[in-house]
Chain A
Amino acid sequence: MTASAYVLEYHLVNYRRTWRASALSTLVLPLLTMLGFGIGVGGYVTAGVDGVDYLDWLVPGLIASAAVQTAIGESTWPVLSYFEWLKVYFAQAAAPLRVADIVTGHLAFMLFRVLLSAGAFLLVAAFFGTLHSLWAVAVLPISALTGLAVAAPVMAYSASVTSDSYLAILMRFAVLPMSLFSGVFFPIESLGLLRWVAYVLPLWHGVDLSRAATLGVSPGWDGLWQLLYLLGWGAAGWSLAVRRFGKRLVV
Chain B
Amino acid sequence: MNSPLIQARGLIKRFGDFTAVDGIDVDVRAGEAFGFLGPNGAGKSSTMRMIGCVSPPSEGELRILGMDPRRDGPRIRARLGVCPQLDNLDTELTVRENLTTYARFFGIPRKVARARAAELLEFVQLSERADSKVDPLSGGMKRRLTIARALVNEPDLVLLDEPTTGLDPQARHLVWERLFRLKQQGVTLVLTTHYMDEAEQLCDRLVVMDGGRIVAEGSPRELIERYSTREVVELRFTTDEQGTYAEKLAGMADRIEVLPDRVLMYVADGDDALAEVHRRSLSPSSALVRRSSLEDVFLHLTGRTLVD
Residues of A near any B CB (own CB < 8 A): 2-3, 6-7, 9-10, 13-14, 17, 86-88, 90-98, 249-251
Contact of B92 among A2, A7, A14, A97 (CB under 8 A): A14
User: Contacts A2-B107, A97-B105; is A250 near B88 (CB within 8 Å)?
Assistant: no
Assess whether B105 is in contact with A7, with CB atoms less than 8 Å apart: yes
Q: Which residues of B contact A95 (CB under 8 A)?
A: 77, 102, 105-106
Stretch at the interface among B48-56, B183-191, B295-303: B48-56
> Roughly how many angstroms separate A98 CA and B82 CA in the complex, as a whole number?
16
Contact of B97 among A13, A96, A249 (CB under 8 A): A13
Q: Which residues of A contact B101 (CB under 8 A)?
A: 9-10, 13-14
User: Contacts A6-B107, A10-B105, A13-B101; is A91 near B90 (CB within 8 Å)?
Assistant: yes
Assess whether B54 is in contact with A250, with CB atoms less than 8 Å apart: yes
Assess whether A14 is in contact with B93, with CB atoms less than 8 Å apart: yes
Residues of B near any A CB (own CB < 8 A): 15, 52, 54-56, 73-75, 77-78, 80, 82, 84, 86, 88-93, 97, 101-102, 104-107
Q: Which residues of A contact B74 (CB under 8 A)?
A: 3, 96-98
Assess whether B93 is in contact with A13, with CB atoms less than 8 Å apart: yes
Q: Which residues of A contact B86 (CB under 8 A)?
A: 87
Contact of A86 among B52, B56, B78, B90 (CB under 8 A): B90
Q: Which residues of B contact A91 (CB under 8 A)?
A: 88-90, 102
Assess whether A6 is in contact with B105, with CB atoms less than 8 Å apart: yes
15 chain-A/chain-B pairs, Cβ below 8 angstroms:
A10-B104, A13-B97, A17-B92, A86-B91, A90-B54, A94-B80, A94-B82, A94-B84, A96-B74, A96-B77, A97-B74, A98-B74, A250-B55, A250-B56, A251-B15
> Roughly how many angstroms separate A6 CA and B54 CA in the complex, as a whole number?
19
Q: Which residues of B contact A90 (CB under 8 A)?
A: 54, 84, 88
Q: Which residues of B contact A251 (CB under 8 A)?
A: 15, 55
A102 to chain B, nearest CB (A): 10
> Roughly how many angstroms separate A217 CA and B35 CA in the complex, as a whole number?
70
Point out which of A17, A95, A97, A249 has the most chain B C-beta atoms below 10 A from its C-beta.
Answer: A95
Q: Which residues of B contact A3 (CB under 8 A)?
A: 74, 105, 107
Q: Which residues of B contact A86 (CB under 8 A)?
A: 88, 90-92
B147 to chain A, nearest CB (A): 13
Q: Which 4 A-B pairs have the closest CB atoms?
A: A95-B105, A87-B88, A96-B78, A96-B74
Contact of B105 among A14, A17, A92 (CB under 8 A): A92
> Roughly how many angstroms separate A98 CA and B72 CA in the complex, as a whole number?
11
Q: Which residues of B contact A249 (CB under 8 A)?
A: 54
- Cβ-closest chain B residue relative to A98: B74
A51 to chain B, nearest CB (A): 50
> Roughly how many angstroms separate A97 CA and B80 CA in the complex, as a whole number?
13
- Cβ-closest chain A residue relative to B92: A14
B228 to chain A, nearest CB (A): 37
Contact of A96 among B84, B90, B92, B105 (CB under 8 A): B105
B38 to chain A, nearest CB (A): 20
Assess whether B54 is in contact with A94, with CB atoms less than 8 Å apart: yes
- Cβ-closest chain B residue relative to A91: B88
- Cβ-closest chain A residue relative to B104: A6
A127 to chain B, nearest CB (A): 34
B198 to chain A, nearest CB (A): 22
Q: Which residues of A contact B97 (CB under 8 A)?
A: 13
User: Contacts A14-B92, A87-B88, A88-B90; is A93 near B54 (CB within 8 Å)?
Assistant: yes
Q: Which residues of B contact A250 (CB under 8 A)?
A: 54-56
> Roughly how many angstroms separate A94 CA and B45 CA in the complex, as a whole number?
14
> Roughly how many angstroms separate A2 CA and B102 CA in the complex, as a whole number?
15
B144 to chain A, nearest CB (A): 16
> Roughly how many angstroms separate A96 CA and B67 CA in the complex, as a whole number?
14
A50 to chain B, nearest CB (A): 47
A23 to chain B, nearest CB (A): 18
- 7 A-B pairs besides A95-B105, A98-B74 with CB distance below 8 A are A3-B74, A13-B93, A14-B92, A88-B90, A91-B102, A95-B102, A95-B106
B35 to chain A, nearest CB (A): 20
> Roughly how many angstroms separate A136 CA and B161 CA in the complex, as a whole number?
55
> Roughly how many angstroms separate A10 CA and B93 CA in the complex, as a whole number?
10
> Roughly how many angstroms separate A14 CA and B98 CA in the complex, as a whole number?
10
Q: Which residues of A contact B107 (CB under 8 A)?
A: 2-3, 6, 96
A101 to chain B, nearest CB (A): 9
A171 to chain B, nearest CB (A): 24
Q: Which residues of A contact B56 (CB under 8 A)?
A: 250
> Roughly how many angstroms separate A7 CA and B93 CA in the complex, as a whole number?
15
A124 to chain B, nearest CB (A): 30
> Roughly how many angstroms separate A169 CA and B88 CA in the complex, as a whole number?
29
Q: Which residues of B contact A13 (CB under 8 A)?
A: 93, 97, 101
Assess whether A96 is in contact with B106, with CB atoms less than 8 Å apart: yes
A176 to chain B, nearest CB (A): 30
